[in-house]
Structure 1
Amino acid sequence: MKAPVSWIRDHVELPEALTVDELTAKLTMLGLKLEALVTPADAITGPLVVGKVLSIEKEPQKNGKVINWCAVDVGAQLNAVHGTEADGVGIVCGAHNFAEGDLVVVCLPGAVLPGNFEISARKTYGHLSTGMICSSRELGLGEDHDGIIVLPRDAGEPGDDAFEVLDMNDTVIEFEINPDRAYALSLRGIAREAGIGFGVAFHDPAQRDVPAGNDQGYPVVVDDTTGCPVFVARSVSGFDPSAPTPDWMVKRLTGAGMRPISLGVDITNYVMLELGQPIHGYDRATLQGPIRVRRASEGEQITTLDGNKRTLSGEDLLITDDSGPIGIAGTMGGETTELSETTTDVVIEAAHFDAVSIFRTERRHKLPSEASKRFERGVDPELPAAAADRVVELMVELGGATADPGVTVVGQAPGRRTVTADTDLAARVTGMEISAETAVKNLELVGCDVTVDGNRLTATVPSWRPDMSDPFDLVEEIARIVGYDNVPSVLPPAPAGRGLPLAQKLRRRVGLVLAGAGWTETISYPFLGDADWNDLGLPTDDERRRTITMANPLNAEAPQLATTLLPGVLRSLGLNVGRGNADAALFETGLVFLPTGREKAPILGVDRRPTEEEWSAIEKAVPHQPQHLALALTGQRERSGWWGEGRQGSWADAIGAVREVADALGVDIEVSAAALAPWHPGRCAEICSGDVVLGHAGELHPKVCKAFGVPARSAAAEIDLDLLLSLARATTPSPSFGSYPVAKEDVALVVDASVPSAAVEAALREGAGELLESVRLFDVFTGEQVGEGKKSLAFALRFRAGDRTLKEGESTAAREAAVARAAEQFGAVQR
């Protein structure tokens, strides 16, 4: 909401010395947050003065355009500095809406207009033009560029400061208005808040004597009293449609962000901004029969003022006459009855419409308007009569109209709500010392009628505050006037520390292990779309494509909740590579959302706690949300340098990172070959712990690498972290160190290339017996020496007894037993 300061001062007796900064600071503390401050004069530097047109010479050009060569008096002092013509300066002007003797706004050389447009004396159309005669748009005062500004004859003398004449020093305050404070979408509401903040008198522009309804007014029938509880219609005759909108009204409309159109329309917009009540005017000559308020028939059509034909829903509230729809209630009028340059008799509509109905209509037709913005938030239902009377007053005063005696009033505003609360509730909630007297006084300041009975107060809420419905709304009103900056800063007593829960300790352990191993954590949005599934190369029947689609997504191209973290971490990897970080290892932990296939959650009110049955139904509808861990890496895992060659990262690093995490949690895992997108066939591993499948790791498919913009042979892993944590031990045993010598035995076994090394390692462990301390694969070899389809796996075996030194031959016997077991299971042959 944009509000010129001068307009605010019209309705509240603010101190003359009050600065704009002091005003905005106080209103912000009351809940009307400052969004911007704009003073039109600040966008212009240099001389901007009143000029008087002395002469005009029309000069046709070869291109068909006619320019005016003007002599303009800008005051004796400036004439002497810039003058090129007798008694004035010479200026070329292309506009034709002015005449000799008119007062205009002149920008002289040295000035800079909005948009950093510098003014200088320059040769054009065969003349030296010294300055510019300005239009509203060139000064940043509006969008009108069809003609220059012509000032009233009594606006001033040549050479006077045009900033003062145009009131360009009037600051416009733009407020960010919360949805529950519709009353502040008006100068009436903002001025009332200013009066409260500074304790000064507020003059309510809606407090006026209005004529009572009678049977002489334009006929109105309301079929849907729920959608339209109040409808007021007034009429004027003999309105002059050619009468110009006065400059003061144009300035205020423009300052408030609205474009002046015509006097009739401008008056309705002005009153809406002033009071907060949207108004609509009809050309009475185009109305056919009584005005009727009803719901639309399904498929009914209307052409609105923006020229679009709209097909209506049966839930839309309409304004109609005998010809059919003439407006969408509270949203936009129809073009058949709009005010035009021939309108002399006007029917004025000031009605109250149901907020929910207007909100749904606006969203359904994607038709936001200044009217709907107010109605959907809740307009004062007692305003229509005063607003209609104000429009009539201005049309009579500015447009030469005559007010018709007929006044139509259909329905009445609903009764005001009452709210009861303890007198000390505000003090208990805020921690401030707020007496019962202060509570009552502050509620009365915002417009409540308050009665007190013992330690209970009952507040009758003002009609313009539909948001005040429970005791804590009263607390908010009391507290904001006392001042939130007065809330004491008191630290609550800290309970005895119990440390982190086990689950949190384990999750932190995962992050610390990966960070210590050189991985960098990233965070991604949990929203995906069909493009992500296609980039991962997932088949159409892949379970990960079965997702939950959001009704109101942040991004229309990513409306689904993630069932995998891989797209996010791979896109982060691609961004790193694209920005020059070619060696990257990233990880992410986060929730994924797996649909349960159960019933939808019930939609409950907020007036009570859900029952056990309702709570159970809500929990059943919540999707399963396990926590996953995803990793991705590319480039060198070990950097090259003076110390030697580096090492390129590979699928083994992705599996190794999962192993490190599992080891830190005390979980034993097994790795076996698998085939699953987005990994490369034959280079994908399934990671298990016993019979539990934890996830997968390996080298990414080349097409996936290309889709995400990462180099070929990049690797990734994803595991169900919740599953892994459920298998974790609270504490992992400290490593033990034997005091007796270790016996070292190495063995190289030739097996089929399809046999996993992990399976061979498991066979060696099983056959070696209890003397085996460790087994480590240190070499893999393929070539002619071992034969086609074969590979050689070299393992380092370490044997030790915890209570003695091994005897000669014990380690050899254990090694041979291990080799025998591998030969039995896989046909391994020792090299």
Structure 2
Amino acid sequence: MLLPIKWAKEYVDINDDIMNICDKVTLTGSHVESIIKLGDNIDNIVVGKIIDIYRHENSNKLWITKVDLGNEIVQIVTAAQNLKQFDYVPVAKVNSTLSDNTKIKEAKLAGEISQGMFCSYKELGYPDSVIPKEYKDGVLRIIDENTVLGTDIREVLDLDDTVVEFEITPNRPDCLSIVGMAREIAASFDKKLNPINVKNLKEIENKSLLNITIHSDDCKRYSASIVKDVTIKESARKVQNYLLNSGIRPVNNIVDLTNFLMLELGQPLHAFDLDKLEGNISIRNAFEGEKVVTLDDVERTLSSEDMLICDDVKPIAIAGVMGLKNSEIDENTKNIFIESAFFTKKTIKSTSKRLGLKSEASIRYEKGLTSEHTMNVLARFLCLLEKNVKCKIDSIFDVNKEETTSKLIEFDTNLVKRLLGVEIKNSDIITYLDLLEIKTEVKGDVIICTIPYFRTDLVIQEDIVEEIGRLYGFCNLNPTPILAPNTIGRKSKKRILEDKIKNILLNLRLYEITTYSFIGGSIIKKSKMNTQNTVKILNPLGEEFSIMRKSLIPNIIEVLSKNLNYKNEDLLVYELGNTFHTVENYEVPLEKKRLVIGSYGKYDFYYIKDVIINLFNVLNIKNIEFIKNNCIDYFHPGVCADILANGEKVGEIGQISYDVCKNFSIKKNIFVCEIDIEKIRDKVSLIKIYEPIIKYPAVKRDLAIIVDKDIDSGRIEKIFKNNSNNLLKNIELFDIYTGNQINKGKKSMAYKLTFQSKEKTLVDEDINSLIDNMLFDLKEQLGAYLRF
């Protein structure tokens, strides 16, 4: 928020040094971002009047002028094409300095002496964004003929002012105005605001038969006025100065006045050319796909969530964001329709973000305004309009769908001592609140506070205490140690398990990643997951952050894709994060912790499977199984399985399908496993039980089994375990072969089996007996046989 100090001083009588003002306001909670001293670089530039102008006889691009500077007349040769006799202009005299530190000297142009130069907005230091269109390539002309010749241009253009940039927090939309910040300055110096003149609206006799109808729930109040017989011209110099110093480009007297009021009081206004409107006014939601052309000459496609201001024939404005080209004020405008409305911030924020169209008006609507403000600002507009423009106020309109009552907060004064740690007298409390325009009624230890309509942030007693603390001065509070018993923080069981999982995976050399909990519908569709029953964000930062994830798999696929693009040849990563799920008849989503592991390169399906087995073994999760499933859309058919623990499905593992990989521009095989941590919590045992190291040696045997192609490893491993008499300590699948030496429809699966007994050294007879039983059951149950 840019605050020209000269403008602020119109509402509060204060003559303090600018640094003192900034220090005081900062201590009451309004943070100063920067202090900009205008016109610091320019020097010896004054107002002059062109008393004669004629073409240079040796150049058709140059003009020779005689300029009255008040105490002298000088000759200036110029190439500017927008000048005429009797114009008042900024003149950089000989030995003057421009904003870019250029020094002006007497020069000879095409044989003629030039004793200075005329200045454009840019040469006086104005940025391109605020320079009026008609002055983009020409000299600035001063329309106020009462200006004294020879006056320093800094005084005329208010370039002797200082602009303070404040950081306005989201809870203080009232401070997005000159008056709002002047109120903060006044309160900081124990002063009150000067009264602001407004038009008495009761004096206006309605002459128009125009009707205004609200069809949208997002428009709570629509106030307006018709003004006739206006003349479109440049605004008064003072108005232009304040707009320019606040970062707003002047357009014409009507548009400038709407912007002036928006900056002054914080309520956006919009002016329409009445003669371009047809019939009555209505406020409705746009039709899906409806197209309009905004004031910046851009055609925009709307959605049904956007709101439009319309006449009987056509839309004339996107509510709260920007007017349309078909109703703009131009040099031929004679009659105007002025809008002052209250739209809900959610709708304006959504429209502004989706269209990529942010304006000063939309910024204020997004922060949140109040319906009580619309008529006040309209009355101020009409007051200033009558003062600056000859016109006739024809009619006033006000359609209000929202009942408003004064907000009361009963405030216990004992709360001040408890929260701030100091005793503040009731009389001082009332004084502080009065400075903030909060009316009070004392009833013993309770003060009933009537909150002004513009302070939407004051809701509870503690808010009142904060206001008192701001004006008392937080810097005046003495630090007091917190007296409380010592406590020792302990990790919850959930946190202990999650930390344990991370440590195990770290020891298994997996890299941890952290991704956003918000994702977009596009990445879900690319992952071939459905978007049904997803938790949607009401006010997302953008489409890519519009949904709260219900699986970690899309995120990790995207991470794998990016790392492949970075030419990382092999990768094994994991994320332990929250997923969010809708629950019927429950307002907030259910959060579930999940673990996802992703890999490519040398880390294949079986590598991830071994990681899971190792993880579960350390967590003492028993009876781990990998059972082939029908494969969800995002997994490759035949290379996927359910993960079971004690017979319950706790996750899934598989190779991501080629279609999904293509959607992410992935040309390698990638593998993913996702585990529901909530389902394994009660299966985990973190109690360490001592077991002596087995003193007898382990025996290893390799077996190659030929089976049908559709039989998965899990079924074979189950038969191995069932016939091992608890002597089988490890099963490792180290090879799968489907070449010419194997019959069609068959495959060879090679396993390394590790046997070990706690009671004796195993001999061949012990092992052979177990293997014979295994081979028998393999043949009986799966039709499998030993490969020689």
- Shorter chain as normaliser: what TM range? 0.7 to 0.9
AA matched with 1:565:
L
1:135 aligns with 2:91: no
* Residue of 713, 719, 724 corresponding to 2:675: 719
With over 3 angstroms needed to count, the CA separation of the structure-2 counterparts of 1:282 and 1:720, relative to structure 1, is closer
Structure 2 counterpart of 1:665: 619
Distance 2:599 2:286 in 1: 57
1:187 aligns with 2:178: yes
State the 1:673 CA deviation: 4.2
Compute the TM-score of the two structures, normalised by the length of structure 1.
Answer: 0.74
State the 1:816 CA deviation: 1.7
With over 3 angstroms needed to count, the CA separation of the structure-2 counterparts of 1:582 and 1:185, relative to structure 1, is same
* Residue of 585, 588, 593 corresponding to 1:627: 593
Structure 2 counterpart of 1:512: 503
Distance 1:454 1:464 in 2: 28
Contact 1:276 1:379 in 2 (8 A): no
Q: Deviations over 1:216-267 (max 9, x none)?
A: 5646898889988896969787x6x265422221111222333322224433
With over 3 angstroms needed to count, the CA separation of the structure-2 counterparts of 1:702 and 1:328, relative to structure 1, is closer
State the 1:325 CA deviation: 10
Contact 1:232 1:388 in 2 (8 A): no
Structure 1 counterpart of 2:14: 14
- Secondary structure (helix, strand or coil) at the match of 1:103 reads strand
1:656 aligns with 2:656: no
1:104 aligns with 2:90: yes
* Residue of 733, 739, 752 corresponding to 1:795: 752
State the 1:135 CA deviation: 2.7
AA matched with 1:194:
I
Stretch moving more, 48-57 or 575-584: 48-57
Distance 1:350 1:784 in 2: 80
With over 3 angstroms needed to count, the CA separation of the structure-2 counterparts of 1:302 and 1:511, relative to structure 1, is closer
1:497 aligns with 2:488: yes
Distance 2:721 2:391 in 1: 106
Structure 2 counterpart of 1:583: 570
* Residue of 752, 755, 760 corresponding to 2:707: 752
Q: Which runs of structure 2 are paired with 1:351-750 in the superposition (5 Å)?
A: 356=344, 377-379=368-370, 381=372, 384=375, 388=379, 391-392=382-383, 395-396=386-387, 398-399=388-389, 401=390, 416-484=406-474, 488=479, 490-491=481-482, 493=484, 496-497=487-488, 499-529=490-520, 531-533=522-524, 535-536=526-527, 538=528, 547-556=534-543, 559-596=546-583, 598=584, 617-618=585-586, 622-635=588-601, 648-668=602-622, 669-674=624-629, 676=631, 677-710=633-666, 712-738=668-694, 740-742=695-697, 744=699, 746-750=701-705
State the 1:140 CA deviation: 2.0
Structure 2 counterpart of 1:68: 62
State the 1:452 CA deviation: 1.3
Distance 2:725 2:291 in 1: 88
Contact 1:331 1:371 in 2 (8 A): yes
Q: Deviations over 1:764-783 (max 9, x none)?
A: 4443425x263453854759
With over 3 angstroms needed to count, the CA separation of the structure-2 counterparts of 1:132 and 1:451, relative to structure 1, is same
Contact 2:257 2:381 in 1 (8 A): no
- Secondary structure (helix, strand or coil) at the match of 1:746 reads strand
Structure 2 counterpart of 1:253: 243
Q: Which runs of 5+ in 1 are unaligned?
A: 80-85, 599-616, 636-647
Structure 2 counterpart of 1:4: 4
1:204 aligns with 2:188: no
With over 3 angstroms needed to count, the CA separation of the structure-2 counterparts of 1:777 and 1:280, relative to structure 1, is closer
Contact 2:732 2:751 in 1 (8 A): yes
Distance 2:562 2:302 in 1: 45
With over 3 angstroms needed to count, the CA separation of the structure-2 counterparts of 1:766 and 1:5, relative to structure 1, is same
Contact 1:136 1:143 in 2 (8 A): yes
Q: Which runs of structure 2 are paired with 1:204-223 in the superposition (5 Å)?
A: 204-206=195-197, 213-214=202-203, 218=207
- Secondary structure (helix, strand or coil) at the match of 1:213 reads helix
* Residue of 821, 828, 831 corresponding to 2:773: 821
With over 3 angstroms needed to count, the CA separation of the structure-2 counterparts of 1:54 and 1:444, relative to structure 1, is closer
Structure 2 counterpart of 1:171: 162
With over 3 angstroms needed to count, the CA separation of the structure-2 counterparts of 1:215 and 1:178, relative to structure 1, is same
State the 1:476 CA deviation: 3.3
AA matched with 2:679:
L
Q: Deviations over 1:571-601 (max 9, x none)?
A: 11222332343333211122333455x3xxx
State the 1:515 CA deviation: 1.6
State the 1:506 CA deviation: 0.9
Contact 1:32 1:176 in 2 (8 A): yes
State the 1:786 CA deviation: 7.8
Q: What percentage of residue pairs aligned between the two structures are identical? A: 21
Distance 1:318 1:793 in 2: 74
Q: Deviations over 1:149-189 (max 9, x none)?
A: 1246776777x864455333423334444555443333222
With over 3 angstroms needed to count, the CA separation of the structure-2 counterparts of 1:375 and 1:798, relative to structure 1, is closer
User: How many residues are aligned here?
Assistant: 756
Contact 1:234 1:392 in 2 (8 A): no
Distance 1:296 1:499 in 2: 56
AA matched with 1:68:
L
Compute the TM-score of the two structures, normalised by the length of structure 2.
Answer: 0.77
Contact 1:547 1:560 in 2 (8 A): yes
Distance 1:700 1:688 in 2: 20
With over 3 angstroms needed to count, the CA separation of the structure-2 counterparts of 1:390 and 1:570, relative to structure 1, is closer
- Secondary structure (helix, strand or coil) at the match of 2:763 reads helix
Contact 1:231 1:411 in 2 (8 A): yes
Distance 1:311 1:795 in 2: 65
Structure 1 counterpart of 2:764: 812
State the 1:329 CA deviation: 9.0
AA matched with 2:14:
L
1:144 aligns with 2:132: yes
AA matched with 1:688:
L
- Secondary structure (helix, strand or coil) at the match of 2:564 reads helix
AA matched with 2:119:
C
State the 1:508 CA deviation: 1.1
With over 3 angstroms needed to count, the CA separation of the structure-2 counterparts of 1:815 and 1:760, relative to structure 1, is farther
AA matched with 1:686:
D
